[in-house]
């Protein structure tokens, strides 16, 4: 039977760290409500110690949203944990996400510490967080580059201290998918109490591998994935929510599912892009402007004969109203006839050949030929042609 993967959305924390993407409290509440509608399981609402504004946002999101668990980030220090606990006071279901660096690079250069001290600090942080809330997630920052046996020791110790979820982040987006998958498997094989907690994957996209790495982590036993809408996040971003949800929906052989209503993906993507003032790249998987648009003649011909020739996802499944046929100098007669019919003109084969020559001449100079351009071509070449749309 298919197993559930919990979706931990960090658009409002890791996503909001992006320069220029800062949100007001009102905007964060609006996005949190949209994420609740979409069906995410956990919303990481912010890093309350970082600023009074972020603290206030976590408080207000906790008041405004009921179904998802509301999570607040805290470094493994008392002040952060107390602040996170206070910011969550109105949350119906609450989680503190605390942790610290686990790779030797972080231990030596960021903390000037030792593995032993990091282990102690992690355990103390989890115990302290558990004195405020029942649900505590521990993050082993830069686990992607951490020594495997130390990572396992740390995971075992924080689970024994009461962590309910353990996050194994590839904070720098360093790992290859098979390496990250093997890391998660190693944790499952070498941590005796691993089944007392949920293992979470949190991947960054520095090498464009965040989604692939997250999927490998899930395939090797993780049951929570940390994502952002549109893949926004530090540097090259985080694993994108829309990609994970649609990969699990498309590839049933993974035997994993989420409880999200995928039809709300596109409206949520638009809202996040607008509020963060962060345009989505046109060729972004699932939510980019070109994700369901066909422009070359070969593809258009196949798509018009049978959509599945070039579409593995029905656009309606993610809330995109329809696929589109874009007319460029690479388009063929089939696409031209299709668009002409949409605007109300039916041409014989000979007339269409004639129109096609005119269209290609225009497309070579105009790049994108719109319905208005087509209308102008028809009016000039066939001024008395009957239009069924008038």
- DSSP H helices, the chain, are 25-38, 52-64, 78-87, 104-105, 115-130, 148-160, 177-190, 210-219, 241-250, 265-276, 297-305, 333-342, 349-366, 371-381
Among the listed ranges 113-121, 167-175, 242-250, 322-330, the one in contact with ligand KIV (CB under 6 A) is: 167-175
Among the listed ranges 20-28, 166-174, 266-274, 358-366, the one in contact with ligand KIV (CB under 6 A) is: 166-174
Task: Rule CB under 5 A: say whether 137 interacts with Zn ion.
Answer: no
Task: Rule CB under 6 A: say whether 139 interacts with ligand KIV.
Answer: yes
CB-nearer residue toward Zn ion: 14 or 242: 14
Answer positive or negative: Cα dihedral of 60, 66, 68, 72. positive
Q: In the complex, what is the shortest distance from the CB of residue 150 to ligand KIV, in angstroms, rounded to a whole number? A: 16
Locate 251 and state its tokens: 């590839």
Of 284, 292, 153, 164, which Cα lies nearest the Cα of 223?
164
Q: In the complex, what is the shortest distance from the CB of residue 73 to Zn ion, in angstroms, rounded to a whole number? A: 10
| 3-class secondary structure, 272 | helix
Q: In the complex, what is the shortest distance from the CB of residue 226 to ligand KIV, in angstroms, rounded to a whole number? A: 7
CB-nearer residue toward ligand KIV: 228 or 331: 228
At 218, give phi and psi (nearest 5°).
-70, -40
* CA separation, residue 130 to residues 6, 120, 124, 264 (Å): 21, 15, 10, 35
CB-nearer residue toward ligand KIV: 169 or 315: 169
Among the listed ranges 57-65, 115-123, 163-171, 186-194, the one in contact with ligand KIV (CB under 6 A) is: 163-171
Select from Zn ion, ligand KIV, none the partner in contact with residue 122, using the beta carbon and a kind-dependent cut-off of 5 to 8 Å. none
Q: What is the CA radius of gyration of the chain?
A: 25
Site for ligand KIV in 12-71 (CB under 6 A): 14
Site for ligand KIV in 82-121 (CB under 6 A): none
Task: Rule CB under 6 A: say whether 167 interacts with ligand KIV.
Answer: yes
Of the residues 7, 9, 13, 14, which one makes contact with Zn ion according to CB under 5 A: 14
Q: In the complex, what is the shortest distance from the CB of residue 77 to ligand KIV, in angstroms, rounded to a whole number? A: 13
CB 102 within 8 A of CB 140: yes
Token pair 């649900």: residue? 135
Task: List interacting residues with ligand KIV (CB under 6 A).
Answer: 14, 139, 141, 167, 169, 171, 202, 204
């Amino acid at each position: 039977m298919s197993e559930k993967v919990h979706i931990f959305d960090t658009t409002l924390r890791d996503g909001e760290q992006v320069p220029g993407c800062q949100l007001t409290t009102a905007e964060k509440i609006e996005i949190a409500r949209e994420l609740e509608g979409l069906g995410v399981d956990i919303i990481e609402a912010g890093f309350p110690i970082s600023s009074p504004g972020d603290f206030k946002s976590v408080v207000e999101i906790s008041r405004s949203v009921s179904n998802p668990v509301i999570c607040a980030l805290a470094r493994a220090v008392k002040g952060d944990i107390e602040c996170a606990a206070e910011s969550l006071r109105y949350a119906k279901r609450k989680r503190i996400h605390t942790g610290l660096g686990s790779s030797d690079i972080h231990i030596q250069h960021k903390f000037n510490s030792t593995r032993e001290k990091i282990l102690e600090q992690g355990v103390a942080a989890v115990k302290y967080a558990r004195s405020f809330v029942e649900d505590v997630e521990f993050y082993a920052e830069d686990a992607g580059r951490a020594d495997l046996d130390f990572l396992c020791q740390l995971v075992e110790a924080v689970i024994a201290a009461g962590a309910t979820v353990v996050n194994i982040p590839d904070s720098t987006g360093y790992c290859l998918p098979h390496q990250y998958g093997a890391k998660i498997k190693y944790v499952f094989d070498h941590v005796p109490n691993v089944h007392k907690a949920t293992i979470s994957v949190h991947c960054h996209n520095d090498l464009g591998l965040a989604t692939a790495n997250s999927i490998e982590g899930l395939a090797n036993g993780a049951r929570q994935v940390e994502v952002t809408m549109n893949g926004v996040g530090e540097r090259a971003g985080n694993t994108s929510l829309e990609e994970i949800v649609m990969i699990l929906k498309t590839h049933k052989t993974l035997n994993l599912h989420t409880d999200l209503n995928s039809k709300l993906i596109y409206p949520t993507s638009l809202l996040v892009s607008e509020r963060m003032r962060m345009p989505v790249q046109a060729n972004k998987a699932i939510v980019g402007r070109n994700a369901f648009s066909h422009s070359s003649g070969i593809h258009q011909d196949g798509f018009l004969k049978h959509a599945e020739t070039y579409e593995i996802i029905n656009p309606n499944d993610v809330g995109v109203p329809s696929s589109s046929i874009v007319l460029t100098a690479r388009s063929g007669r089939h696409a031209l006839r299709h668009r002409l019919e949409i605007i109300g003109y039916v041409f014989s084969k000979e007339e269409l050949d004639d129109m096609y020559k005119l269209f290609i001449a225009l497309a070579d100079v105009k790049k994108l030929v719109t319905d208005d351009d087509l209308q102008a071509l028809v009016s000039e070449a066939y001024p008395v042609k009957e239009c069924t749309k008038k």
